[in-house]
Amino acid sequence: MSDKYIDLVNGGFGGTVAKKLGLPQPAPLRRYKPGAALVPGPVLVLGPDTDQTDAVASALLGWDLEVHRSPSTGTARWGAVVVVLSEVDDASQLGEHVLPLSPALKQMARGGRVVTISRAASGATTPTAAAARQAVDGFVRSLGKEMRGGATANGLVLAHESTTPADDGVLAALRFFLSARSSFVDGQLLTIGDAPVLADVTTSDEERPLAGRVAVVTGAARGIGAAIARTLARDGAALVLVDVPAAGEHLAKVANEVRGTALQLDITAPDAGSRIIEHAIARHGGLHVVVHNAGITRDKLLANMKPETWESVLAVNLAAQLRINEQLLASEHFRDAPRIVSLASTSGIAGNRGQTNYGASKAGVIGMVRATAPLLAAASGGTGTVNAVAPGFIVTEMTARIPFATREVAKRLNSLQQGGDPSDVAEAIAFLASPAGGAVNGQVLRVCGQNLVGA
């Protein structure tokens, strides 16, 4: 969706005026186009001179990238910097490995990436090691706020001590963070487990990673849901699109566009899960991915909240997902590397005035995802995952209902100074739904441009 302000402040005259007045100058983001280069320039790999750092560098070379180990290469505009910190267990060593970033940051390409790879503080055996590992968190979140020109900084956190930075699950997530698929993900740390990825990580985002997979998207008639359907279809999935009967006409249009099938269904129906499973099996011969996207807002201050306003939001955003998941977990048709991705929201993490009902429902989704992850993994021989994506301000009909002045301010309150596009959320979901996302389970990935609220 076009953001006229971005066009204006990136034009000659508009840009000069914006600079003089000290107005935000958001950069157009580097968004995914099939066939485009993974990163917009050479990649610098920093970190201790050890096998783990070498292994990451050689994996990147294997992806046909130009890889350097030192920032002093003259005039190159860095496409990305990968900082391998998985062996740093003393914060006094951190500076030695992150300060070489300093000159590189002045020479980042537009839409460049910084990605750290570190270990979870929870796995540290000493306070010194835990401090060093947790320090990376604050470093990445702060650096995200310093990036310019649509560049971002994110981190991968290895959950298990036995995982190494060049394991497939880590590389698959690294590839997502480096790529244009992660354009609106900034200042985030994603935890990587040790489940198999069942995909060739060298090409996981270029090929049709969802070929042969059947995906269901709820709330697919418009907005983020329609974008998810288009993105999953582009990535090769066969689609079942679900929405309420009142949205039937729009639903049919999107279904035609992505050559999927439409299922008119209110997800709060007690048998919604079994109807979804039956439809997918009957029309597409299988079921592999369910994206719980349908959601509603009914904003009111708690002081003015009617019971039915509270209940309707909890029923659609949370209770329906819980019930459908129970039916999925019990189904023998949902065992082949199954994927569930739920839509949470930054409102469920940071809270939002007028959204006690919505915030509660979306925080509930996060709790549900964490607790369901081990259950689906167990039901599927360790191949299944359940994750949530938490969008920040995304330009859709839902956010179009926010009064103009509030909306324009809310849109810019993030490190990238702009609202996200529905396709930004869809790209993150496509990664988590793909076989390559197999090592990410029970996580919440924010797609919010590093929203300043609760960032």
- Residues labelled catalytic: 358
Asked whether the CA dihedral 449, 222, 362, 406 is positive or negative, the reply is positive
Paired tokens of 374: 């081990």
Running DSSP on this structure, what letter comes out for residue 20?
H
The correct pick among 223, 338, 384, 438 for binding ligand NAD (CB under 6 A) is: 223
Q: Of the ranges 124-132, 162-170, 240-248, 323-331, which one interacts with ligand NAD (CB under 6 A)?
A: 240-248
Q: Does 352 bind ligand NAD (CB under 6 A)?
A: no
Cα separation, 141 vs 313, whole angstroms = 31
Nearer to ligand NAD, 177 or 393 (CB): 393
The correct pick among 156, 172, 343, 440 for binding ligand NAD (CB under 6 A) is: 343
Q: Got the DSSP string for 30-71?
A: ----TTS-SSSS-EEEES-SSHHHHHHHHHHHHTT--EESSS
Min dist. Cβ of residue 239 to ligand NAD (A):
15
Phi, then psi, of 396 in degrees rounded to 5 = -145, 180
Query: x/- string (CB under 6 A) for ligand NAD, residues 270-299?
Result: -----------------------xxxx---
Q: Does 266 bind ligand NAD (CB under 6 A)?
A: yes
Min dist. Cβ of residue 10 to ligand NAD (A):
23
* CA–CA distances in Å: residue 210 to residues 77, 130, 205, 380: 33, 38, 10, 18
Nearer to ligand NAD, 154 or 293 (CB): 293
Q: Of the ranges 2-10, 266-274, 277-285, 306-314, which one interacts with ligand NAD (CB under 6 A)?
A: 266-274
Q: Does 345 bind ligand NAD (CB under 6 A)?
A: yes
The correct pick among 152, 183, 204, 218 for binding ligand NAD (CB under 6 A) is: 218
Nearer to ligand NAD, 15 or 354 (CB): 354
Please say whether the beta carbons of 108 and 152 come within 8 A: no
Cα separation, 129 vs 191, whole angstroms = 18
Q: Does 243 bind ligand NAD (CB under 6 A)?
A: yes
Nearer to ligand NAD, 165 or 359 (CB): 359
Q: Does 264 bind ligand NAD (CB under 6 A)?
A: no
Nearest Cα residue to 124 out of 97, 90, 155: 90
Of residues 384 through 423, those in contact with ligand NAD by CB under 6 A are 391, 393-394, 396-399
Min dist. Cβ of residue 240 to ligand NAD (A):
13
Of residues 105 through 144, those in contact with ligand NAD by CB under 6 A are none
The correct pick among 27, 65, 233, 267 for binding ligand NAD (CB under 6 A) is: 267
CB neighbourhood size of 199 (10 A): 19
Secondary structure class of 169 (helix, strand, coil): helix
Q: Count interface residues toward ligand NAD (CB under 6 A).
A: 28
* CA–CA distances in Å: residue 251 to residues 62, 224, 225, 231, 413: 42, 13, 10, 16, 32
Q: Does 449 bind ligand NAD (CB under 6 A)?
A: no
Of residues 296 through 335, those in contact with ligand NAD by CB under 6 A are 296, 316
Q: Of the ranges 71-79, 264-272, 275-283, 372-380, which one interacts with ligand NAD (CB under 6 A)?
A: 264-272
How would you classify residue 317: left for phi > 0, otherwise alpha for psi between -120 and 50, otherwise beta? alpha
Nearer to ligand NAD, 229 or 439 (CB): 229
Nearer to ligand NAD, 18 or 217 (CB): 217
Where are the strands (E) in 98-213, listed by range?
Answer: 108-119, 152-158, 189-192
**Strand-by-strand arrangement of the 214-218 sheet:** 261-264, 238-243, 214-218, 289-292, 339-343, 385-391, 444-447
Secondary structure class of 311 (helix, strand, coil): helix
Euclidean distance between the first and the last CA atom of the chain, given in angstroms as a whole number: 24
Running DSSP on this structure, what letter comes out for residue 146?
T
Q: Does 225 bind ligand NAD (CB under 6 A)?
A: yes
Cα separation, 328 vs 277, whole angstroms = 8
Cα separation, 397 vs 295, whole angstroms = 12
The correct pick among 156, 157, 174, 224 for binding ligand NAD (CB under 6 A) is: 224
| Crossing angle between the packed helical segments 422-433 and 223-234, to the nearest 10 degrees | 50
Of residues 48 through 87, those in contact with ligand NAD by CB under 6 A are none
Nearer to ligand NAD, 227 or 238 (CB): 227
The correct pick among 268, 312, 327, 380 for binding ligand NAD (CB under 6 A) is: 268
Nearer to ligand NAD, 305 or 398 (CB): 398
Nearer to ligand NAD, 163 or 357 (CB): 357
> Contact residues for ligand NAD (CB under 6 A)?
218-219, 221-225, 242-244, 247, 266-268, 293-296, 316, 343, 345, 391, 393-394, 396-399
